[in-house]
Structure formats: structure tokens, C-alpha cells
Structure 1
Amino acid sequence: MDFHSMIEVWHEFYSVLSQVSATFAGLLFVSLSLRHEVLNHPECVRVKRLAQHTFKAFLYLVVFSLIFMIPKAGLLGTTIPLFLVALYALVITARGLKVELKDKSKYSVQVSGAIKIYLLSLLTYLMFGVVAVLLFIGVNNALYLVVGLVIWTLALVTTSSWKLLAELNAGNIRQSDK
């Protein structure tokens, strides 16, 4: 099956993926907006950083799926944007991880497992880049790898979202500072 036909077969999958990811991003945005006083507290800088990372991860899924839904984009019109977005996500996530690792402050509010979330996100975006390269060289079955990456990413960012909201609702900010 040629590339265009293969992409057409997957159109509904990417349509649902973009809708689900956008919905999750919206829910996270609303949830965090309701707790913006706590999230913007100086002791929550790490939580806020992870919240930004998690929100971007949902948006990257939306963008990845939209790339696959571009009508008649062809091989180059799909693989080049896919690779560039994966590279961008990789760089932005690496920067976030670097800031997190350099942050030696003793903030009282942190999300357990945040470093692991950043590292697993790096691996995910690297794999999206690999998929782009595989598709570019003609391995159309690499689209099946995207299914695993999507499930992996949704599980990762959903877990991150849950941890963020649990931490923000735990009341670890001193009441006098609110």
C-alpha cells in the first residue's frame, strides 16, 4: 500500500486522537486555572513547570495527529513536519529537564516522579522522530508504532496530570501564604 493510501486508512484514528488530546488539554487547563493562586505560589515553581510540560505534551499529540490529517500532504508534507515537531518537543523537554535538574532549591511542593516523566517524555519524542525517519525511508508500517507511542504518551501525561492535581489539592502550601 502506498503512503497516501496508508495515511487515509488511519485518518479516523488521528481524528479521534486529536479530539481526545485536545479534550484532555482543555480539562487540564481548566483544572489548573481553578488552582492558579496555588500554582503561582513561589513554593510551587516545580509543580508549575511540570504543569506546563504536561499541557504541552497534550498539545504535541494534537499537532502530531493534525499533521497526519493534512489532506494530500504526501510523504514529505507529513514526515518533515512530524520530524520537526518531534525535534522541537525533544529540545523543549530537554531544556525543562535541565532546569529541573539544576534547581537545587528546597521548594516544599514537588511532584514525585517528575524527573521520570521528563525522561520518558524525551524518549517518546525521540521515538516520534524515529517514526518520521522510518516513514520517510518508506517503512509505512511505522504508523503502527505511533499507536504504541500515543497510548504511552496518553498514559504518561494522564499520570502526570493526576499527580499535579493531587499535589495542588493536597494543601501543602501554608495557609498563611495563600
Structure 2
Amino acid sequence: MPEQWNNFFVMVGGGSAALVGLIFVAMSINHEIILRNATHKNRAINMLTGFSAIFMASGLALMGNQTPEMLGFAWLVLWLIATVIFVRGYVIAIRTGMSSVGLNAPRLAGGTLCYLAEVLSAVLLILGCGSGFYIAAVAIIVLFAFLISGAWLLMIGIYEDLGK
């Protein structure tokens, strides 16, 4: 019963929208440093993409007159795009090696697993399995924490660059 999830999606959707705004403001203050450093630039893109994807997924979940299967299809498209952006950005950041703050295999694996769990939740909804909502909820919560830590790492990296 998707309507049981309304409060959850209102909460995470609103929280992610607020954090997108805060990150955007922080990025605009330090845009020159971010644009000069491939690690910072890709991390910023990943933070904005992740929080925006959570916001969009929440908005899609709150739309009326749709079946879980329809929601699953919309989520599948959304989370596949977000997954590609995340992995691509992380790989570019690692290859350029401009900032080593938080660039490691466990963070790449952890983030990728969060996104793939969202893809799995979408597939389960398409197949008519209500457990997709539970997997999506847990993955969103973990992804939220992952993105917040990524935003913190972005700020630490910028601070280190300011000191150089």
C-alpha cells in the first residue's frame, strides 16, 4: 500500500530539497576552487545529483493515481541515470587525483551499492513486490548519510585548497 509511505517521502523529499539548496549556495561561494579541481567538481555534481534524485524519487512516489509498477518504472529510469552520473564522476575524480580527500574504493563501493539498491527497489516494484518500498527507504536513508558525508568531504577539500 504505497499511501503508507507518504510521510516518509514528504520527509526525505523536503530534506533533500533543502540540502540541495544549501550545497548550491556553498558551491557558489567557492565556485572558482571547485571548477579548478576535478575531484571537487565531480563530488559537487554527485552531491547535487544524489539529493536531487532523492527529491525526484520522493515527488514521483507522492504522485496520485499510479500503480507501484508505474512508480517502479519511473524510479528505474531515475536511479539508473543517477547511478551512471555517480560512478562516472567518482571514476573521473579518482583518475585525475587532484584531491585525495575521501577518494577511496570503499566510498565508491558504498555509494554504488546505495544506487544499485534503489535500482533493485524499482525492479521489485515493477514486478509487483511491495518489498521494493522497504529497500528503497533503507537505501535512501543510507544514501542520505553518504551524501551528507560527501558534502562534508567537499568542504574539507575546498578548505585544504584555500590553505595552499
Q: 2:107 aligns with which of 117, 129, 133?
A: 117
Aligned counterparts of 2:25 and 2:126: Cα–Cα separation in 1? 38
Partner of 1:51 in structure 2?
44
Once the two structures are TM-superposed, the CA of residue 40 in structure 1 deviates from its matched residue by: 2.3
Structure 1, unpaired ranges of 5+:
1-5
Partner-residue secondary structure (3-state), 1:40: helix
Bigger drift between 54-63 and 86-95 goes to 86-95
Aligned counterparts of 1:98 and 1:45: Cα–Cα separation in 2? 11
Q: Kindly indicate whether the alpha-carbon contact (under 8 Å) linking 1:28 and 1:161 is maintained by their aligned counterparts in 2.
A: yes
Partner of 1:168 in structure 2?
158
Structure number, greater radius of gyration:
1
The one-letter code sitting in structure 1 at the alignment partner of 2:76 is F
Aligned counterparts, 1:73-84, within 5 A = 73-84=66-77
Aligned counterparts of 1:133 and 1:112: Cα–Cα separation in 2? 31
Partner of 1:28 in structure 2?
23
Structure 2, unpaired ranges of 5+:
none
Once the two structures are TM-superposed, the CA of residue 123 in structure 1 deviates from its matched residue by: 1.4
Partner of 1:3 in structure 2?
none
CA RMSD after TM alignment: 1.9
Partner of 1:85 in structure 2?
78
Partner-residue secondary structure (3-state), 2:63: coil
Aligned counterparts of 2:33 and 2:93: Cα–Cα separation in 1? 19
The one-letter code sitting in structure 1 at the alignment partner of 2:69 is L
Per-residue CA deviations over 1:62-116 (Å, capped at 9, x if unaligned) read: 111111111111133211101111111122223223323443xx53x34223554
Q: Kindly indicate whether the alpha-carbon contact (under 8 Å) linking 1:64 and 1:82 is maintained by their aligned counterparts in 2.
A: yes
Partner of 1:129 in structure 2?
119
1:151 aligns with 2:138: no
Q: Kindly indicate whether the alpha-carbon contact (under 8 Å) linking 2:38 and 2:92 is maintained by their aligned counterparts in 1.
A: no
Once the two structures are TM-superposed, the CA of residue 162 in structure 1 deviates from its matched residue by: 0.6
**TM-score, with structure 1 as normaliser:** 0.82
Partner-residue secondary structure (3-state), 1:120: helix
Q: Which structure carries more helix by proportion?
A: 2
The one-letter code sitting in structure 1 at the alignment partner of 2:92 is V
Per-residue CA deviations over 1:9-34 (Å, capped at 9, x if unaligned) read: 11121011110001011111111111
Bigger drift between 111-120 and 46-55 goes to 111-120
Q: Kindly indicate whether the alpha-carbon contact (under 8 Å) linking 2:19 and 2:51 is maintained by their aligned counterparts in 1.
A: yes
Partner of 1:96 in structure 2?
89
The one-letter code sitting in structure 2 at the alignment partner of 1:45 is A
In the comparison of the two structures, how many residue pairs are matched? Answer: 164
Partner of 1:10 in structure 2?
5
Bigger drift between 7-16 and 109-118 goes to 109-118
Q: Kindly indicate whether the alpha-carbon contact (under 8 Å) linking 1:47 and 1:110 is maintained by their aligned counterparts in 2.
A: no
Partner-residue secondary structure (3-state), 1:71: coil
